[in-house]
Amino acid sequence: MVKPLINGFKKFRNNYFDKERKFFNRLTKRGQKPKIMVISCSDSRVDPAILFNTRAGELFVVRNVANLVPPYEPDDGYHGVSAAIEFAVRDLKVKDIVILGHAFCGGIEALCNACKNEIEGIQESNENKKEFINSWISISKKAILDLDLNDWHGPTQHLAEKASIRNSLNNLMSFPWISKLVSNNNLMLHGWWFDMENASLWSINQKNNEFERLIPK
Ligand SMILES: [Zn+2]
């Protein structure tokens, strides 16, 4: 099953690495200096490097189920996403953080389902109960409870995806060193949503907190 990856790596060596030796040498010797962090979904259809046509070293990426940012909780927990954010902001000193959500997100679907079941008092069977996903996606629970989750497929699901991006932006601001940098204009936060059906990119307008289409204009 992994054969395509081996072949893909051969192509990377021949078509990319060999032609850009100087570039890779520089990256190796000088280390990485990405200016942008992207927090995106683990979804196989939403690869930031492909979507934004970037080169190695350009993006510092953390991917997780439903592109969520947890709130600031400096305790002894295993905070993988917060650790990546800390490294990007405090060590690499990125200038922008993009939260990249997307249409038809399975993680947000699971969240909509879980909230709907909870509202209707439906208990999940032990057999179906997820050990980690439910607590992870509950990060965005409060952001979607105002939506009519009766029939969440279609437009409501997209509203939930967007509400969750806003929630993650708020959570980013709960990190004290992030809010300080943002207030000093040394760090910019962006909420983007990828409409994979139409290959369009939407962005939150910070003036009214609404999503506006960025590409195509
Ligand atoms: Zn997703």
Cα distance between residue 172 and residue 86, in whole Å: 11
Q: How far is CA 43 from the centre of its chain?
A: 10
* Distance of CA 25 from the midpoint of ligand 1 (Å): 34
For position 83, what pLDDT does the model report? 98
Determine the distance separating the centroid of ligand 1 and the alpha carbon of 161, expressed in angstroms: 9
Could you give the strand order of the β-sheet that contains 96-102, starting from the edge strand earlier in sequence?
A: 59-64, 36-41, 96-102, 188-195, 200-205, 210-215
SS3 of residue 197 by DSSP:
coil
Cα of 103 vs centre of ligand 1, distance in Å, is: 8
Domains of the chain: 1-31 (no CATH), 35-215 (3.40.1050.10)
Please, are residues 117 and 124 in contact by the beta-carbon 8 Å criterion?
yes
Predicted local confidence at residue 151, as pLDDT: 86
Rounded to the nearest whole angstrom, what is the distance from the C-alpha of residue 64 to the centroid of ligand 1? 8
Helix (H) or strand (E) holding 137: helix 133-137
* pLDDT tens-digit profile, the chain (217 residues): 999 999 999 999 999 999 999 999 999 999 999 999 999 999 999 999 999 999 999 999 999 999 999 999 999 999 999 999 999 999 999 999 999 999 999 999 999 999 999 888 888 777 778 899 999 999 999 999 999 998 888 899 999 999 999 999 999 999 999 999 999 999 999 999 999 999 999 999 999 999 999 999 8
CA of 156 to the centre of ligand 1 (A): 15
| pTM for this entry | 0.95
* Spacing, Cα 207 to ligand 1 middle (Å): 26
Q: How far is the CA of 67 from the centre of ligand 1 (A)?
A: 7
**Residue 201 to residues 31, 53, 133, 160: CA-CA distances in angstroms?**
31, 14, 27, 17
3-state secondary structure of 11: helix
